[in-house]
């Protein structure tokens, strides 16, 4: 029994030691980069305050690519596209034919665009017409309701006059009301 509890104590201590090492490693892993950059920044700012003033140099402007390697700018491959029959056919066409094809393509695109605009315009007119019909129905219904309200108001005024005259007659005959 004594040997069994000693092994348990050792494994418990070993487990605690592993947990402590894991906790310290995790803390360093999480906060280490931030501490490293802060430490590095403080060292760099300390060096900057100890360094000399910035140098003023009179350097020539940088060279252009043409000055560095003059043949590189005009570099062309003589065999480029010689094996492509479609490209050869296109390059053999006169400039006017190429411009004519380009104009035909632009005309086709413009025609397609115009067709799309016409369809959109017709649809917009249809929807506007539908809204116009709905508005006319609404206006007609409003006018009908207004006319009915005016008629009912006139009938109500007549009915009140009749009721008032009957009430006066009833009071003359001895009715005292509610």
- For residue 26, pLDDT beyond 90: no
**Residue 109 burial by CB count (10 A; 0-12/13-18/19+): exposed, middle or buried?**
exposed
User: Is position 124 within any domain?
Assistant: yes
Inside any domain, residue 53:
no
73, 66 contact by CB (below 8 A): yes
In a domain, 88, yes or no: no
**Within a domain: 117:** yes
Q: How far apart are CA 22 and CA 15, in angstroms?
A: 10
Q: What is the pLDDT of residues 124-148, one digit of tens each?
A: 999 999 999 999 999 999 999 999 9
Alpha helices in the chain (DSSP H): 2-50, 65-68, 70-73, 85-92, 95-172
36 assigned to some structural domain: no
How many domains in the chain? 1
pTM, full prediction:
0.35
Domain that holds residue 152: 95-172
In a domain, 12, yes or no: no
Q: Is residue 142 part of a domain?
A: yes
Check if the beta carbon of residue 65 is closer than 8 Å to that of residue 73.
yes
pLDDT in tens, 30-74: 888 877 888 787 777 666 555 566 667 777 666 666 666 665 555
Q: Say whether pLDDT at 156 is over 90.
A: yes
pLDDT digit string, tens, across residues 98-134: 888 889 999 999 999 999 999 999 999 999 999 999 9
Residue 139 included in any domain = yes
């Amino acid at each position: 029994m004594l040997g069994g509890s000693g092994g348990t104590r050792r494994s418990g201590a070993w487990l605690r030691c592993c947990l402590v090492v894991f906790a310290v490693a995790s803390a360093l892993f999480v906060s280490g980069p931030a501490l490293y950059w802060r430490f590095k920044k403080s060292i760099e700012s300390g060096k900057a305050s100890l360094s000399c003033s910035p140098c003023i140099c009179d350097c020539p402007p940088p060279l252009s690519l043409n000055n560095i390697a003059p043949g590189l700018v005009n570099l062309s491959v003589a065999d480029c596209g010689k094996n492509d029959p479609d490209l050869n056919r296109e390059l053999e066409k006169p400039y006017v034919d190429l411009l004519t094809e380009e104009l035909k393509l632009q005309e086709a695109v413009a025609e397609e665009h115009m067709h799309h605009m016409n369809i959109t315009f017709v649809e917009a007119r249809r929807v506007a017409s539908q809204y116009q019909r709905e508005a006319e129905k609404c206006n007609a219904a409003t006018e009908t309701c207004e006319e009915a309200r005016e008629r009912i108001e006139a009938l109500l005024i007549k009915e009140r006059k009749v009721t008032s005259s009957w009430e006066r007659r009833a009071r003359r005959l001895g009715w005292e009301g509610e």
